[in-house]
Amino acid sequence: PGKKVLIVYAHQEPKSFNGSLLKIAVEELTKQGCSVTVSDLYAMQFEPRATRNDIVGHLHNSEAFNYGVETWEAYKRGGLSKDLVEEQKKVQEADLLIFQFPLFWFSMPAILKGWMDRVLVQGFAYDLSKAYDGGLLQDKLSLFSFTTGGSKEKYAIRGDIRYLLWPMQHGIMHFCGVKVLEPHICYAPENVSEEKRKEMLTAWTQRLKTLWKEEPIDCSPEWYFK
């Protein structure tokens, strides 16, 4: 109780299955006494592109633009654009980050990847000497909850789905020091019966009830590639 949760949500349609998963998470976690914030990226018309517009005022080096260097310098002097500052504040306050999205091309939708690219800047989320277990966002938990187009069997034949979690969970979250809970995967909700969909939603509700008792995964290559 009293925990703060940020749900970063990337789907265009509130009536979608992802929309239902979001609604359940907000209701269930609120019921537990958590304070829940949602960044609904499409509704916010969140800008996914990392550009010069992310820096307010002067550039550190106006001769040659280097996004990583410029956002790091801007972060240090409080010169990042308003939308980034707002998202960083939500991240800073959260005990748990839930990412809710449909899997696109074995990855997250561009709008969510853009959120990662722009919000998790150097100085805020990591520093070169402070990454992975030493990352700057320690003491936070994260959970990737997503839907797929393909069935579980299809993924099993074509390579373990854990492989594609490596860049998302390990390369972004763990890199920033965030602990990672088991992903929540709803396989092919569009291709199953209404009854099966209801079962998936119930399973998510049940999981959320005991979420705070869960242990994070072992963030090692073995977890992903064994």
Q: What is the pLDDT along the chain (226 residues), one digit of tens a residue?
A: 689 999 999 999 999 999 999 999 999 999 999 999 999 999 999 999 999 999 999 999 999 999 999 999 999 999 999 999 999 999 999 999 999 999 999 999 999 999 999 999 999 999 989 999 999 999 999 999 999 999 998 888 877 899 999 999 999 999 999 999 999 999 999 999 999 999 999 999 999 999 999 999 998 999 999 8
Residues 214 and 226: their CA atoms lie apart, in Å, by: 22
User: Phi, psi at residue 51, to the nearest 5°?
Assistant: -135, 180
pLDDT (0 to 100) of residue 159 = 75
What contacts 26, CB < 8 A, 6 or more positions away? 7, 36, 38
pLDDT (0 to 100) of residue 226 = 80
Structure-block tokens of residue 99: 């990412």
pLDDT (0 to 100) of residue 1 = 62
pLDDT (0 to 100) of residue 157 = 86
Q: Which domains are present in the chain? A: 4-225 (3.40.50.360)
